[in-house]
Amino acid sequence: MTFIEELKRRRTFGIISHPDAGKTTLTEKLLLFGGAINEAGAVKNNKIKKSATSDFMEIERQRGISVATSVLAFNYKEKKINILDTPGHKDFAEDTFRTLTAVDSVIVVIDVAKGVEEQTEKLVKVCRMRKIPIIVFINKLDREGKDAFDLLDEVEQKLGLRVTPLSFPIGMGYDFKGIYNIWEQKLNLFDGDNKQTISEGVEFKDINTPELDEIVGKKHAEDLREELELIDEVYPKFDKDEYLKGDLQPVFFGSALNNFGVKELLDCFIEIAPHPQPKQADTRIVKPEEPKMTGFVFKIHANMDPKHRDRLAFVKIVSGTFKRNTNYLHVRLNKKMKFASPNAFFAEKKQIVDESFPGDIVGLHDTGNFKIGDTLTEGEILNFKGIPAFSPEHFRYINNADPMKSKQLAKGIDQLMDEGVAQLFTLNLNGRKVIGTVGALQFEVIQYRLEHEYGAKCTYENLNMHKVCWVAPEDEKNAEFQDFKRVKQRYLAKDKEGKLVFLADSDFTIQMTQSKYPSVKLHFTSEF
């Protein structure tokens, strides 16, 4: 296959939603249809001790939630599909925001009973800002939920999307009969008894035939005809160009747990979703078809395999071909590096790959050279934009609970902070270490992983802070900045990169500081 053919068959997308909307289940069912797994794990079902293929960290298995983005790849109908399954829980939103820099499109999963939830709104806002093409999947149709048209209205109003249904449910909950696939003009009937098998659709080019009444019952057939007529009048016709520009969002209905509506989603997705797209760097726009390799690190994961203490940097290939054992320039460190065993992923299973193409995600073994946002090139000096660290909102002092293990604790904190799960600040006044996170659940994850992966124990002390601001003075030597440092010295710290930060206890403090020291600029992300 030529380079351009390889490029055109790639589809890299993220799945996002509020916790519990069925995102991980959907990921798993996509793998099932792709032939990548033979049997679906009963996700979050305690009677059967299996967990979703994509939740491979021990703490995820215990909690039944995804706390780290996992990367999965499989082939389906000649297309190479890369899925990034993201955490839905708001305490891990930062990982999800960064993952969105590495995808070309997204699928948003919405629970039919709960409708659009707060976390979904935040994530979709980021997608819209970046003009990422979105497909909406309304899940759990085998349960009682909101009316399909009410849901479509809610998606339009709350998420600010312009939707067009490409499939539509026949009944819902106990009365759920199946789905009419508008995209392929097929009828898929629901068989609630056999949840693991996949039903084939019956073609229905003309829904006015009496045969439909026989199959789904007279009332359901009449309802469906009316609903399809209404869809025709109210919603715009699907237009692929508008979808790719981020101006139109197709909607599918289904039940991921029962394999229902998933194949329709996947079949349509591989036809309409974009292949790898150009990406903005600081100096120019990089196009995927360029011959020279460029890529960036959007995630770092320590201890993918606890037995080996290995640390992997996840690199999204933006252009060119990434080859094993070839020298590439690490732009930030300005040094050449080569990688003997780059990995491709299937959840926790990894395999060594000789070459990867734009859109692919490659895992590189890392001994501490990489940070999130780092760029690899064939020599060109450029950096990809839009992978910031956000200002944390929860703060605690971290203390060593076992003085014999201080080395392990230091190493564990160092590696976990590189992953971007949290940020470490060292107070200028007394050198005490402060951990800042976007969500409170992160502290539990850090404590758990320090103990189980590094053999180190820590305790926390509360620290009442509101936000971290990165400090950028106009002139480091002027009297105003010196006065700022003297007055605020109790609240100044350094982040992991040695940048000066100001720990503010309230919004009021930030406003007062900005008006008193106008030449000292305060920023809420580290990328300014």
DSSP string, 57-96: SHHHHHHTS--S-EEEEEEETTEEEEEEEPP-SGGGHHHH
More confident residue, 22 or 246: 246
* CA 180 – CA 110 distance, rounded (Å): 19
| Residue 365 CA to its chain's centroid (Å) | 21
Judged against a pLDDT cut of 90, whether residue 427 lies above it is answered with yes
Lowest mean pLDDT among 4-8, 279-283, 389-393: 389-393
pLDDT band for position 35 (50/70/90)?
low
Q: Label residue 156 exposed, middle or buried (CB < 10 Å: 0-12, 13-18, 19+).
A: middle
Going from the C-alpha of 413 to that of each of 57, 91, 417, 423, 432, the distances in angstroms are 18, 18, 6, 10, 14
Tokens for 103, please give them: 């995808």
pLDDT at 39: 45
**Sequence-distant (≥ 6) Cβ neighbours of residue 472 within 8 angstroms:** 520, 521, 522, 523, 528
pLDDT at 302: 65
Average pLDDT over residues 236-241: 91
pLDDT at 41: 42
DSSP letter at 497? T
Edge-first strand listing for the sheet containing 167-170? 167-170, 178-181, 186-189, 202-203
Q: Would you give the end-to-end CA distance of the chain in angstroms?
A: 42
Helix 23-33 × helix 262-272 angle, to 10°: 80
- Is the distance from CB of 115 to CB of 121 less than 8 angstroms? no
More confident residue, 35 or 362: 362
* Alpha-helical runs (H) found in 178-297: 210-216, 218-234, 240-244, 262-272
Answer positive or negative: Cα dihedral of 231, 233, 236, 238: positive
pLDDT band for position 49 (50/70/90)?
very low
Judged against a pLDDT cut of 80, whether residue 265 lies above it is answered with yes
Judged against a pLDDT cut of 70, whether residue 116 lies above it is answered with yes
pLDDT tens profile 300-324: 776 555 555 567 888 999 999 999 8
pLDDT tens profile 337-383: 989 888 877 644 667 888 889 998 888 888 778 888 889 999 889 88
**Sequence-distant (≥ 6) Cβ neighbours of residue 75 within 8 angstroms:** 34, 35, 81
Tokens for 26, please give them: 């959907």
Average pLDDT over residues 321-332: 91
Percent of the chain predicted with pLDDT > 70: 82
pLDDT at 51: 44
Lowest mean pLDDT among 4-13, 43-52, 166-175, 422-431: 43-52
DSSP letter at 438? S
Q: CATH 3.40.50.300 in the chain: give the residue spans.
A: 3-176+235-272, 279-377
pLDDT tens profile 74-95: 888 888 888 886 664 554 556 6
Locate the DSSP E strands across 86-235: 105-111, 134-139, 163-165, 167-170, 178-181, 186-189, 202-203
The pTM of the full predicted model, rounded to 2 decimals, is 0.74
| DSSP bridge partners of 12 | 82
Polymer length of the chain: 528
**Sequence-distant (≥ 6) Cβ neighbours of residue 512 within 8 angstroms:** none
pLDDT band for position 454 (50/70/90)?
confident
- Amino acid identity for residue 109 in this structure: V
Q: CATH 3.30.70.3280 in the chain: give the residue spans.
A: 394-523
More confident residue, 35 or 292: 292
More confident residue, 55 or 216: 216
CATH class of 279-377: alpha beta
Q: Give the closest residue to 97 by CA, choosing from 109, 88, 269.
A: 88
Judged against a pLDDT cut of 60, whether residue 63 lies above it is answered with no
- Is the distance from CB of 258 to CB of 248 less than 8 angstroms? no
Helix 118-129 × helix 148-159 angle, to 10°: 60
- Is the distance from CB of 281 to CB of 296 less than 8 angstroms? no
pLDDT at 398: 92
The dihedrals phi and psi of 305, each to the nearest 5 degrees, come to: -125, 105
pLDDT at 336: 93
More confident residue, 336 or 197: 336
pLDDT at 42: 32
pLDDT band for position 227 (50/70/90)?
confident
pLDDT band for position 527 (50/70/90)?
low
- Is the distance from CB of 494 to CB of 425 less than 8 angstroms? yes
Judged against a pLDDT cut of 90, whether residue 135 lies above it is answered with yes
- Amino acid identity for residue 389 in this structure: A
The dihedrals phi and psi of 16, each to the nearest 5 degrees, come to: -125, 150
pLDDT at 90: 54
Judged against a pLDDT cut of 50, whether residue 32 lies above it is answered with yes
Determine what percent of the chain falls in helix, strand and coil, rounding each to the nearest 5: 30, 30, 40
pLDDT at 68: 46
- Amino acid identity for residue 394 in this structure: H
| Residue 451 CA to its chain's centroid (Å) | 26
* CA 501 – CA 98 distance, rounded (Å): 22
Judged against a pLDDT cut of 70, whether residue 12 lies above it is answered with yes
Judged against a pLDDT cut of 80, whether residue 37 lies above it is answered with no
**Sequence-distant (≥ 6) Cβ neighbours of residue 59 within 8 angstroms:** 67, 445, 448, 449
pLDDT at 137: 92
Lowest mean pLDDT among 106-115, 221-230, 235-244: 221-230
Q: Give the CATH number of domain 394-523; options: 3.40.50.970, 3.40.50.300, 3.10.20.600, 3.30.70.3280.
A: 3.30.70.3280
More confident residue, 303 or 274: 274
Average pLDDT over residues 492-508: 89
Provide the b/e sequence for 122-138 (b: ≥16 CB within 10 Å): ebbebbbeeebbbbbbb
Q: Give the CATH number of domain 3-176+235-272; options: 3.40.50.300, 3.30.470.20, 3.40.980.10, 3.20.10.10.
A: 3.40.50.300
